[in-house]
Structure 1
Amino acid sequence: MPSPKQEAQKEEQKEAQKEAQDPELRWLREVYQPGAVQLTVRAVITGMFLGGVMCLSNLYVFLKTGWSLAVTVTACILAFAIYRLLAAMRITKREFSVLENNAMGSVASAAGFMTGGGNMSAVPALLLLTGIRPDSIPLMVWFAVIAAMGVFVAIPLKRQLINIDKLAFPTGTATAETLKSLHHHGGATNKARYLIRAGMIGAVIAFFRDAKTRWLPFNLPAHFGLPFKIGGVPAEKWTLSLDGSLILFGAGALMSFKTGWSLLLGAILNYGVLGPAMYSRGAIESVVYRNIVQFTLWPAAALLVSSNMLSFAFQWRSIARSFGSVVALFRKRKEGEVDPLADVECPTWWFPVGFLALAPLAVVLMMWLFQVPLWAALIALPLTFVVGIVGSRVTGETDITPTKAMGPMTQLIFGALLPGNVVANVMTANVTAGVGLHSADLLTDLKSGYLLGANPRKQLFAQLFGVVAGAAVVVPAYNLLVPTAEVIGSTQFPAPSVLVWAGVSRALSLGIGGLHPMARTAIGVAFALGIAITLLERWAPKSLKPYIPSASGVGMAMVVPGSNSIAMFIGASIAEFMRRRHPRVAEQTVVPISSGFIAGESLMGIAIAILIATGVLSK
């Protein structure tokens, strides 16, 4: 008969075996920090403030480049530095903990990404196509409802994707490592200094370049011309010049080098080959950016849609696993089986309650603001859930939320269901892409929390605070920067994603028969090129893959001024050089300096717009 000691040892072995087989139980015992300070008032207020600032910056950058940039790491570095300074000044006594900073990052991320998910593609596209500009308050509610629906869609996915499948969510993992470095190794001081100093440089340059007023002794040039001609026309007329914006340089430094050189390649092909050929044949009336891009947006849209849709189709295994994950979560537990995380994780029932509470409001807003028929709005709702599931799984595996595919996919569906209705075409795509983005964003933040031992429920509440802040900030800022449709597609705000969404909607709703024959030919060639690039990226020998351009980079280069692509290429090249030759220095400098340039210049650009609107500065 076994002794009491042997019985105890046997029980310990059983518990250890059970823990080894249950990753959730192991996380609960080894990583989770019960009772730790997390979602505090100061974390929420700091996150809403920094997220609002990042949202303003992202809006400006998006209208310039078509990209929304990650904000969480920048916000965490700034928050850490702020509270270190407040502690040094004896204004605050309690340490700003790593989990407080993580919760703050969830708030800031939700607010900063309010420009993404089709929001700032769809609404300006709607203005461009129809002249419709929804009132500010209803538009804020619209954005907040879409984002909150995405937050609730993430609930039934979290445990399967993060706890059990342990998907990488690379940005979430990197954020967790950054937070550990800041709070446990004091690694923020230099990064914060670089970020703040770069921000000041960006702000000063933007002021002396853009503030046109009598009392300013001089203005910095916006562009520096290149000393050659194309087809007898100066290169600068073809938008090929050196740009005086540090935003573009910083954005390029945050991209991959492949995207950077693909942008340069696209600019050369578009403004050095395609544009001059079209001009010589009369397809482009005069060498002005707006005239050029009205032609080239068609092949650009075809290339982006074909490449992104095919890339999305190649991820069919992820798509299938997405639905399998959801089914697994709703399986019944065995009799007597206790859920060890019942008091920690968000209950699964929160998803249907939250989603069903928001769905009627979304339907009413679609019908009221955008005259979407009731039946079409009802079809859009389950589609948002499907897109949220798929987008979240793909983000976890690749770190890329496929909004560039999700938006056009919805446009294609509603182009067939509602031919000729450009409003419904654009705004239903806004719903699906927005839900997909914010679901993936919350799961990315939850990955950081999972690695740090945070409480998922508190992170979900943090995300909802950020949704409110982002919606409240982005709408008035958009109205200020885009007072009329003429601003969209100008050299000041090329807004390439807006042009692509508008082009796809116009083509689906009105047809492409009225286009110039050369434009139709260009669409066919670009569509095939997008497919070819995607196939090469997938099946070319590994040794050749570094030389295959990014379809997204080439496509975007066709709808932004060539000077933008050149500047981003220079930024990407310098960052790549630093990463290869001086990796330690690059780790300390590339992200904070680039983020500082972007934040400083973009916020000064918005400040100048406010000063002009209030009459303090003359235009």
Structure 2
Amino acid sequence: MYEDVPEFTLRAVLLGLAIGCLICFTNLSLGLQSGWISMMSIQSALIGFLISRTLPIPLTPQEIIVVQTTAVATGTMPLAAGFVGILPALTLLDETRDGSSPIHMTWIAAVGWSCSVAFFGVFLSPPIRKQVIIEEELPFPSGTATAHLISVLHQLPPPESNIRQRHTYHHVQDEEENTLAEEIVEDMVDETPEEDEHEREMVEHEGWHDLIWSFAASGSLTLAAFFYPFLFAIPLFGNYLAKEWLWYFTPSLSYVGQGVIMGFPTTLSMNLGMFVGWAILSPLSKWSGWAPGAVGDMSNGARGWILWISLGIMCADSVVSLLPVAWEYFQDVMKPFQRGYTSIGENGEQLKNNETETPDRLVPNSWVAVGLLLSISIGTFLVWIVFGNEGIKPWATLLGFILGGMLSIIGVRALGETDLNPVSGLGKISQLFFAWIQPGNIVANIIAGGVAEAGAQQAGDLMQDLKTGHLCHASPRAQFFGQLIGSSVSILVTTTAYTLYNRAYVIPGPSFPAPTAYVWLSLARLLRDGQLPENSATFMIAFSVLFGSLSALKTYTAKREHWIAKWIPSGVAFAIGFLNTPSFSIARLIGGVMEYVYRTRYAKDKGDIRLVVIASGFVLGEGVVSIVSLILRTLGVGVASCFGCGHGLCGGCPAASGM
């Protein structure tokens, strides 16, 4: 019956591209500001549905899935191609220290680099889907939540799934966050048909109103802050703390919206890290003479000193949280070699026949084989063209693709089980590997690590969409086409946006500090020369051991669905509090508190979906208006007044240009 339903249509693809381009600009801006981006699959489905209701013939549920699949593929390119981390890191190279001059890519070079990594993960997805979605039936909470949302909005029966929910598990990835999914799944699974109908009517009738006012409020505040930068750099704790210790407040509604999406436990972990890093360790390193430079200096200041503790926490947390997934994967690989193993399932069915789709709706294996071969070979060639032999050898790039394929399996399994795609940890594993096979070459270390990370990140993000499609009976082939088109268009959109940002702003700089760029470069430098700032190694080891233990405890309690797991601090979220100045974390905590209060006191009456709509408007409003600000800055339009910017922290004001 589903074969006759419209799925891969021109209007679905165009709508997905339009939403994806907005998300792409938003993610690029937010990623360069804080190192955080979002798939926004739930938001894409919501916005697609709202727009669909204005059309003469509304989109079918399967078309909505193509919309959100295309939007996700388009919107996540800033992370997949390294525009928020790897490319800014290459501009920070120092010839004396690193043996290579800074690399500033032209538009055409950035397009070539993006093409080299844009499609590898797309072609990895179909064969991995067969294993993790069809055979193992991993839950993929965000993909399952999106499927339930689409079913509610279209008055369909709830999707059949064996959701192994992690109701108490919350985690943040420094580039990507999906932690709202589990609450949405839990709420929707328990709803009655009458509640489903109420939810659908609420979203349809009130959704546009909520989205428009939240979008307008966030956009207006962002535009006002362009002309009056003081609005986004309020010295809430006094001018002294703002100027000398970077304690100021950015009342960005986008950050508030991100906090809503992240959830209270995650934002609380982030702010605990912010307090420890910026209120304790930063003054300690400054007053002890370990970081004699200005507090905000990433080379010899307190911010650069606490970066290493953050790096240690992220590595320890990522590795420990990956161990159970890697162990389970190893056990699955070894099962066919164990005595007494059978491929017969519990109910007597053959596992290899679990596929529910007909061959004409699947992606043929021949397409996958040819696509992987072409994406790897062309990608290796393009990387060689862009960076040359001195940057990275072709054989090293080829190894990066192979390593990326292996790491993507681990990443996808982790995502399927916990809703966390640990690309940060996987990227660091790849850096360690390439420091061993090509020692001393920082450029090769960063690039090859980026190639490996891109495949793992893209395959994982697209797997969430395939889970949604599987539960809602959408064609995997239609989603595959949407992913290819979205990734192709996003190459030009992301590259153009990044080039414009580079022309209008200093990156990294006051407006766009690109914190993850320093993480990539710092680890590459450490692996090259082994030098750490004074006394940072001691704190790095201590915090790594602490959060490695907490990560193990969190994983153990989460598997047993114990309530305490939710409140054990997330190591990666804690580390993000170190990376970003307090202004980025405080506003997100406000959003987290809003989410907690709304969910615990008002959600029974109005549902969680309304808050998701409002948060989406906040995030998209700033992202879209940032395009306007970018155009104004490119045209030479400056700020209207620098009133209140005496602390020198206002982006765009002359007083901040020297930072």
TM-score by length of 1: 0.85
Shift of 1:323: 5.0
Q: What is the distance in 2 between the residues matched to 1:404 and 1:116? A: 11
1:587 aligned partner? 608
Shift of 1:97: 1.6
1:519 aligned partner? 536
Given candidates 621, 634, 657, the residue that maps to 1:613 is 634
Q: What is the distance in 2 between the residues matched to 1:338 and 1:245? A: 48
Q: What is the distance in 2 between the residues matched to 1:155 and 1:113? A: 19
CA 446–545 in structure 1, closer or farther in 2 if over 3 Å, else same: closer
Shift of 1:288: 3.6
Shift of 1:529: 2.9
Paired AA for residue 297 in structure 1: L
Q: Which moved more, 1:236-245 or 1:189-198?
A: 236-245
Answer yes or no: is 1:82 the counterpart of 2:51: yes
2:89 aligned partner? 125
Deviations 1:351-397 (A, max 9, x none): 21110011111111222223311221222222121122222222222
Shift of 1:227: 4.2
Q: What is the distance in 1 between the residues matched to 2:334 and 2:109? A: 37
Q: What is the distance in 2 between the residues matched to 1:362 and 1:597? A: 37
Q: What is the distance in 1 between the residues matched to 2:597 and 2:220? A: 27
Answer yes or no: is 1:65 the counterpart of 2:34: yes
Given candidates 198, 208, 214, the residue that maps to 1:198 is 214
2:125 aligned partner? 154
Deviations 1:493-552 (A, max 9, x none): 23222221121112112321xx43222333223332332322332356946534421111
1:499 aligned partner? 518
Paired AA for residue 164 in structure 1: E
Deviations 1:587-610 (A, max 9, x none): 133211111111111221232122
> Is contact 1:496-1:556 (8 Å) kept?
no
Q: What is the distance in 2 between the residues matched to 1:501 and 1:316? A: 24
Instruction: Please list every run of 5 or more consecutive structure 2 residues that lacks an aligned counterpart in the other structure.
Output: 94-100, 156-199, 640-651, 653-659
Paired AA for residue 158 in structure 1: R
CA 70–278 in structure 1, closer or farther in 2 if over 3 Å, else same: same
Q: Give matches, 1:22-33, under 5 Å.
A: 33=2
Deviations 1:275-334 (A, max 9, x none): 111111222335542333222111111111121122112322343267579999x99x99
Paired AA for residue 441 in structure 1: D
2:282 aligned partner? 275
Q: What is the distance in 2 between the residues matched to 1:59 and 1:322? A: 38
Q: Give matches, 1:106-505, under 5 Å.
A: 106-117=69-80, 119=82, 120-129=84-93, 130-184=101-155, 185-186=200-201, 187-211=203-227, 221-227=231-237, 234=241, 237-290=244-297, 291-320=301-330, 323=333, 341-370=358-387, 371-483=391-503, 486-488=506-508, 490-505=509-524
Q: What is the distance in 2 between the residues matched to 1:282 and 1:54? A: 43
Q: Which moved more, 1:106-115 or 1:578-587?
A: 578-587
CA 298–280 in structure 1, closer or farther in 2 if over 3 Å, else same: same
Shift of 1:274: 0.7
Q: What is the distance in 2 between the residues matched to 1:338 and 1:265? A: 46
> Is contact 2:111-2:491 (8 Å) kept?
yes
Deviations 1:122-179 (A, max 9, x none): 1111122252122223422432442311111111122232223221111111111222
SS in structure 1 opposite 2:361?
coil
Q: What is the distance in 2 between the residues matched to 1:283 and 1:563? A: 24
**Higher Cα Rg: structure 1 or 2?**
1
CA 516–402 in structure 1, closer or farther in 2 if over 3 Å, else same: closer
Shift of 1:220: 5.3
SS in structure 2 opposite 1:487?
coil
Answer yes or no: is 1:50 the counterpart of 2:19: yes
Paired AA for residue 58 in structure 2: E
Shift of 1:102: 1.0
> Is contact 1:98-1:183 (8 Å) kept?
yes
Q: What is the distance in 1 between the residues matched to 2:523 and 2:576? A: 14
Q: What is the distance in 1 between the residues matched to 2:452 and 2:432? A: 12
Q: Give matches, 1:28-39, under 5 Å.
A: 33-39=2-8
Shift of 1:485: 9.3
Q: What is the distance in 1 between the residues matched to 2:236 and 2:230? A: 17
> Is contact 2:270-2:577 (8 Å) kept?
yes
Q: What is the distance in 2 between the residues matched to 1:208 and 1:47? A: 30
CA 439–544 in structure 1, closer or farther in 2 if over 3 Å, else same: closer
Paired AA for residue 495 in structure 2: V
Q: What is the distance in 2 between the residues matched to 1:240 and 1:228? A: 8
Given candidates 576, 586, 599, the residue that maps to 2:596 is 576
Given candidates 598, 602, 618, the residue that maps to 2:623 is 602
Paired AA for residue 142 in structure 1: W
Answer yes or no: is 1:566 the counterpart of 2:586: yes
Q: What is the distance in 2 between the residues matched to 1:486 and 1:518? A: 31
Q: What is the distance in 1 between the residues matched to 2:630 and 2:295? A: 24
Paired AA for residue 177 in structure 1: H
SS in structure 1 opposite 2:76?
helix
Paired AA for residue 429 in structure 2: M
Shift of 1:271: 1.3
1:530 aligned partner? 547
Shift of 1:39: 0.8
SS in structure 2 opposite 1:343?
helix
TM-score by length of 2: 0.80
Identity %: 27
CA 145–458 in structure 1, closer or farther in 2 if over 3 Å, else same: farther
Shift of 1:236: 5.9
> Is contact 1:191-1:588 (8 Å) kept?
no
SS in structure 2 opposite 1:221?
helix
Q: What is the distance in 2 between the residues matched to 1:523 and 1:124? A: 25
Shift of 1:196: 2.0
RMSD: 2.8
> Is contact 2:264-2:593 (8 Å) kept?
yes
2:66 aligned partner? 103
